[in-house]
C-alpha cells in the first residue's frame, strides 16, 4: 500500500502530452493545403462563371444579329416578290403591248413618247428587282452564316455552363 493519500495520487496520473514536431508540421502543411485547395476551387469556379458569362454575352449579340437578319430577309423577300409581281403585271398588260406596237409603227407621237417612258420605268423596275434579288440572296447567305455562328456559340455556352456546374458540385 502506498503511504500517500488517495487524492494526491490521482492528480499525478496526468502526463504532459508530448508534441511531435514532425506531426505538427504535417498538420500545418495539410491545413495550408486544404486552405489553398478551397481558394483554388473558388478561383476556378469564378473563372468558369466569368468565361460562361462572356460566351453568353457573345451568344446574345449573335442571336440579336441573327434575328435582325431574319427580319431583314422577310422584308427584302416581300419587296422582291412585290417588284416581280409589278414587273410581270405591267410587262404582260395589253396597254404596254399596244404602246410597243405604236412605237414600232410610229403612227401616234404621243404613244411613242408614252412607250419610251413606260420602257424606261419598266427598265428601272427590272433593275430594282435585280438589286432586291441580289440583296435577298446575300441576306440569306448572311443569315445562314450567322445561324451557324449562333449555334456554335450556344454549344460553347452549354459546355461552359456544364463546366460551372461541375466545378460548383465538387464541394
Residue 137 confidence (pLDDT): 98
Q: Give how far the C-alpha of residue 159 lies from the chain's centroid of Cα atoms, to the nearest Å.
A: 14
Residue 159 confidence (pLDDT): 96
Could you tell me the residue ranges of all domains in the chain? Answer: 24-168
With the C-alpha atoms ordered 12, 13, 18, 24, is the resulting torsion angle positive or negative?
negative
Residue 15 confidence (pLDDT): 64
From first to last of the 171 residues of the chain, give the pLDDT tens digit.
Answer: 456 555 555 555 566 677 888 999 999 999 999 999 999 999 999 999 999 999 999 999 999 999 999 999 999 999 999 999 999 999 999 999 888 888 888 878 888 899 999 999 999 999 999 999 999 999 999 999 999 999 999 999 999 999 999 999 988
Residue 135 confidence (pLDDT): 97
Confirm whether pTM is higher than 0.95.
Answer: no
Topology at the third CATH level for domain 24-168:
Helix Hairpins (1.10.287)
Pick the closest to residue 160 from 37, 32, 53, 33 (CA basis): 53
Residue 150 confidence (pLDDT): 97
Residue 158 confidence (pLDDT): 97
Amino acid at each position: 500500500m502506498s503511504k500517500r493519500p488517495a487524492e494526491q495520487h490521482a492528480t499525478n496520473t496526468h502526463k504532459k502530452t508530448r508534441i511531435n514536431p514532425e506531426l505538427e508540421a504535417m498538420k500545418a502543411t495539410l491545413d495550408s493545403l486544404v486552405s489553398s485547395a478551397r481558394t483554388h476551387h473558388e478561383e476556378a469556379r469564378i473563372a468558369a462563371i466569368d468565361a460562361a458569362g462572356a460566351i453568353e454575352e457573345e451568344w446574345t449579340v449573335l442571336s440579336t444579329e441573327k434575328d435582325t437578319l431574319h427580319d431583314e430577309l422577310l422584308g427584302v423577300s416581300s419587296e422582291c416578290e412585290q417588284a416581280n409581281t409589278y414587273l410581270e403585271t405591267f410587262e404582260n398588260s395589253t396597254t404596254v403591248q399596244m404602246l410597243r406596237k405604236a412605237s414600232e409603227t410610229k403612227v401616234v407621237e404621243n404613244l411613242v413618247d408614252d412607250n419610251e417612258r413606260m420602257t424606261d420605268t419598266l427598265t428601272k423596275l427590272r433593275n430594282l428587282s435585280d438589286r432586291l434579288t441580289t440583296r435577298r440572296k446575300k441576306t440569306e447567305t448572311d443569315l445562314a452564316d450567322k445561324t451557324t455562328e449562333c449555334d456554335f456559340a450556344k454549344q460553347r455556352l452549354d459546355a461552359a455552363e456544364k463546366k460551372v456546374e461541375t466545378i460548383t458540385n465538387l464541394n
